[in-house]
Amino acid sequence: MMRIPESHPRYESLVTREKMVNAVKDNIIVQEGLIAHGRGEAYDYIMGEKTKKWAIQAIKASAVTLMNASYPVISVNGNAAALAGKELVELSKIIPAKLEVNLFHRSPIRIRKICDYLRSMGATEVLGEDAEKLIEGIEHSRSYSSPEGIIKADVVFVPLEDGDRAKALKAIGKKVICIDLNPLSRTAITSDITIVDNITRAIPLLTEEIKKIKSGTEKELEEANAFATEYSNRDVLKEAVEGIIEYLGEFNPVRSDTANI
Ligand code: PTJ
């Protein structure tokens, strides 16, 4: 493994890349996942690599929606597992929600590897190896779902998704929450709530928000519920795009402090 000096201005990004490459070797991520990660990095770059106000709003709405769900399921793919496996396990316990491994580039080996990986991170139950039911309207491997998982869910959390499943899930009556750094994606637009942020930052914040609501007062819970009821995904996505434009508008090539190196 390459040694990355901590003094490198892009240390975190380089360490994450190494982690992703190793996850490919371990059969957790597919090579295409590295390309997807690159797209994510590019979007993160043009929003300053920080959690912005549009993501905070989406996290607030997601927290109470997941808490109120009667059968919430977290769908985990290779990238999500490699980037935030441990944090997703913690989130599933806090809500509580089922974890289901659901892959676009599906293979029995990868399903098993990712289930094992999540168990090694502390998950007691991981669905996905038992997937058999097909979700209507999806013509690829993501259609496979566990009869005890996504099929039964009322709310499905799909961090880092690849497009048309959000639409198919909504068509069969599910509420869909996603994380996607790309506010222009079909998943982002179709979902009920889209957290436009890096999964590595968003999941711990979501867990914290749920803990906060759970330990808060009745009045705070009512306010959180009202916030989620009023929530408009389209408005928040619009804010995200406007926020990116504003951030880029501040860039000045002669002032290095405005660059994001
Ligand atoms: O493990 P598999 O087989 O299920 O495959 C997983 C990938 C990610 C390869 C598959 O779902 C895929 O091809 O996804 P897409 O269509 O490339 O979409 C992934 C989306 O996630 C893109 O819109 C990226 O901008 C976004 N993204 C990438 N990295 C991050 C991210 N969003 C949040 N945090 C990230 N770190």
Q: What is the pLDDT, as a whole number, of residue 260? A: 62
Question: Do 80 and 97 contact (CB within 8 A), yes or no?
Answer: no
Mutate to test the pocket of ligand 1, among 31, 39, 117 (most ligand atoms within 8 A of CB): 39
pLDDT tens sequence across 72-93:
999 999 999 999 999 999 999 9
Task: Tell whether omega for the bond before 159 is within 30 degrees of 0, i.e. cis.
Answer: no
Q: What is the pLDDT, as a whole number, of residue 134? A: 76
Q: Hey, whose CA ends up nearest to atom 24 of ligand 1?
A: 40
Does residue 135 lie within any of the structural domains? yes
pLDDT tens sequence across 26-58:
999 999 999 999 999 999 999 999 999 999 999
Does residue 253 lie within any of the structural domains? no
* CATH, residue 154: 3.40.50.12640
Range of the domain at 215: 53-240
Mutate to test the pocket of ligand 1, among 17, 106, 162 (most ligand atoms within 8 A of CB): 162
Does residue 184 lie within any of the structural domains? yes
Q: What is the pLDDT, as a whole number, of residue 259? A: 63
CA dist 216 → 75, 206, 224 (Å): 28, 15, 10
Give the number of domains in the chain: 1
**H or E element, residue 178:** strand 175-179
Q: Hey, whose CA ends up nearest to atom 3 of ligand 1?
A: 105
Does residue 223 lie within any of the structural domains? yes
Q: Give residue 217 CA to ligand 1 midpoint distance, Å.
A: 37
Does residue 260 lie within any of the structural domains? no
Does residue 182 lie within any of the structural domains? yes
User: Which pLDDT band holds residue 99 (cuts at 50, 70, 90)?
Assistant: very high
